[in-house]
């Protein structure tokens, strides 16, 4: 067909779209410190620009998420006079979550709650993807530290941060997962490797020979007493001056890579 198209108005300005950015934080092994890194990133980002920051726990089976971040930051105290949206329950019931939030300290908290655990809520992979893609926020920090099938969700992330505990037994335990992430990195996935709990007891040559990483960030070992203090005061660990001092330089480097 010899059709003719005539534009009646000139497009003087280009259109801009704000796209949701998703950052996945995952531990190479259990207890590596992924939740610490994820909550700290959420806090640092929340203080930097006008983007709406969301911290989201990603775990298909809520029963397996122990201990709870909900308890560690004292969410029951923070939301004593406000309703706390149970995103996992909303998704499982087929409800919509757009426009719903749990804003506190400039962060939207998408947490597994004691109620979710009690009701043994388990999300299907499709429901989990729906949660990740529909929870409100411009920047979604996804803590995938307790999700057994983490690889299923990493490809949907704009950047993945892998947190490593340099203790030999934990590196050995996490080796199959590390190998899978390296495979995804080779295929083009943006990966940041971060060694947590860096301390003088590490045999650096052995660690380097095992990990075989060209580049990685590191956070020094932080005494456990700081984390006890944070929880007893219902604080995000990064809000404690001693913890922030040890982590800030590394977080700034990580954020520089992300953005």
> Does any domain span residue 3?
no
Residue 61: phi and psi, rounded to 5, are: -110, 105
Q: How many residues are present in the chain?
A: 259
Residue 63: its pLDDT value, please?
66
Contact 152, 108 (CB under 8 A): no
Please report, for the domain that includes residue 182, its CATH number.
3.40.50.300
Mean pLDDT score, 126-143: 93
Q: How do strand 53-57 and strand 139-143 relate by DSSP bridges?
A: parallel
> Does any domain span residue 253?
yes
Mean pLDDT score, 120-140: 92
Confirm whether pTM is higher than 0.85.
yes
> Does any domain span residue 85?
yes
214-229 burial, b if ≥16 CB within 10 A, otherwise e? eeebebeebeeeebee
d(CA 26, CA 81): 33
Residue 65: its pLDDT value, please?
67
Contact 60, 128 (CB under 8 A): yes
Q: pLDDT of 144-198, one tens digit each? A: 865 556 567 788 899 999 999 999 999 999 999 999 999 999 999 999 999 999 9
Number of domains making up the chain: 1
d(CA 131, CA 220): 33
Q: pLDDT of 26-78, one tens digit each? A: 999 988 999 999 999 999 999 887 789 999 999 867 766 678 999 999 999 99
> Does any domain span residue 12?
no
Q: Where is pLDDT greater, at 101 or 11?
A: 101
d(CA 133, CA 71): 25
> Does any domain span residue 218?
yes
Contact 145, 26 (CB under 8 A): yes
> Does any domain span residue 15?
no
């Amino acid at each position: 067909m010899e059709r003719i198209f005539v534009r009646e108005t000139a497009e003087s300005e280009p259109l801009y779209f704000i796209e949701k950015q998703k950052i996945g934080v995952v531990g190479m092994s259990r207890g590596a410190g992924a939740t610490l890194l994820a909550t700290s990133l959420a806090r640092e980002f929340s203080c930097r620009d006008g983007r709406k920051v969301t911290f989201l726990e990603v775990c298909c089976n809520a029963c397996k998420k122990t201990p709870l971040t909900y308890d560690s930051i004292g969410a029951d105290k923070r939301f004593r006079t406000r309703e706390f949206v149970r995103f996992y329950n909303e998704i499982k019931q087929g409800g919509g979550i757009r426009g719903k939030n749990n804003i506190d300290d400039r962060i939207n908290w998408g947490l597994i709650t004691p109620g979710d655990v009690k009701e043994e809520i388990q999300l299907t992979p499709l429901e989990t993807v729906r949660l990740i893609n529909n929870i409100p926020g411009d920047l979604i920090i996804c803590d995938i530290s307790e999700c057994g099938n983490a690889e299923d969700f990493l490809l949907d992330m704009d950047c993945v941060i892998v947190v490593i505990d340099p203790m030999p037994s934990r590196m050995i335990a996490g080796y199959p997962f590390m190998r899978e992430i390296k495979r995804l990195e080779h295929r083009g996935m943006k990966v940041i490797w971060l060694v947590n709990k860096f301390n003088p007891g590490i045999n650096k040559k052995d660690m380097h020979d095992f990990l075989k990483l060209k580049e990685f960030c590191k956070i020094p070992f932080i005494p456990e007493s700081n984390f006890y203090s944070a929880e007893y005061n219902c604080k995000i660990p990064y809000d404690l001056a001693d913890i922030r001092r040890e982590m800030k330089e590394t977080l700034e480097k990580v954020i520089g890579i992300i953005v």
